[in-house]
Amino acid sequence: MTLLIGEAFSPWTRKARWALDYCGVAYRYREYIPFLGEPSLRMKLRQWRGTVSVPVLFTDAGVVRGSFGIARHAARVAGDDRLGDFDRIRFWDDISETGLAAARTRVVRAIAANDAALDESLPRLPSPLMPLLRPITRRAVKALDRKYAHLYGAGNHRDALLALRRGLRDSGTGFLLGRFGYADISLCALLDAVVPEPDTAFPGEAHRHCWRDDALAREFPDLLAWRDGLRPYRSRRASH
């Protein structure tokens, strides 16, 4: 049986799940807990060195890493071109990756500076213990920041949103490549770090707050409205 390991609130996992659902691929889902879940993920991947990240899809035919690969796998399983032409989508996915990397660094730094968000990162514990554990949680969050800091570029999230706006204007169809497909899913994920969707499963409200970017929300209401318009395409039974 196909198994997806991911983080429910992560834009990369959300991209992968949207693509799998849209293609009608059946899979079990398991939530990944950074650091604590890493040894078992490494065991499953048989990878002892180098970085590991989620989402990862385990199929009978092998392992598929990363949201783009998982989406391409989903399209292959569907056996049609409902997610679009992946050679053309790659261009847009690179823009999404660059923007999301910058957003992640901003979010991780916001969490490191927010006691309530740090507490939410832990399993439920008696509240007097929480402040004692905060320095350990903060160190773990800072390690996550270091792991991905080389991908950070100030302004890259905003630049990616500007590219999305231009792409939609040039296309004139409401979709980046003329009809709904993975390019839209991938770029839509940029908005997870502007105003998270109400159904996003965060560990708590402090996390949701850290993912929000009010300045970008004020600048890009048109893109938030565009995302709302993609809602019919989220259904597993979608057949457009």
Ligand X SMILES: N[C@@H](CCC(=O)N[C@@H](CS)C(=O)NCC(=O)O)C(=O)O
CB of 2 to ligand X, least distance (A): 16
Nearer to ligand X, 122 or 219 (CB): 122
List of residues contacting ligand X (CB under 6 A): 7, 10, 12, 34, 53-55, 66-68, 97, 104, 147
CA distance 89 to 84: 7
CB of 32 to ligand X, least distance (A): 7
Instruction: Give the whole-angstrom CA distance, residue 205 versus residue 116.
Output: 9
Residue 97 or 120 with smaller CB distance to ligand X = 97
Q: State the nearest-atom distance from the C-beta of 127 to ligand X, in Å.
A: 26
Q: Which is nearer to ligand X, 68 or 175 (CB)?
A: 68
Secondary structure (3-state) at 57: strand
Closer CB to ligand X, residue 142 or residue 171? 142
| Identity of the amino acid at 101 | A
Query: CA geometry: angle at 218 spanning 215 and 224, to 5°?
Result: 115
Minimum distance of ligand X from residue 9's CB (angstroms): 9
Q: Which residues contact 23 (CB under 8 A, 6 or more apart)?
A: 74, 75, 77, 78, 82, 83
Counting beta carbons within 10 angstroms of the beta carbon of residue 123, is it exposed (0 to 12), middle (13 to 18) or buried (19 or more)?
A: exposed
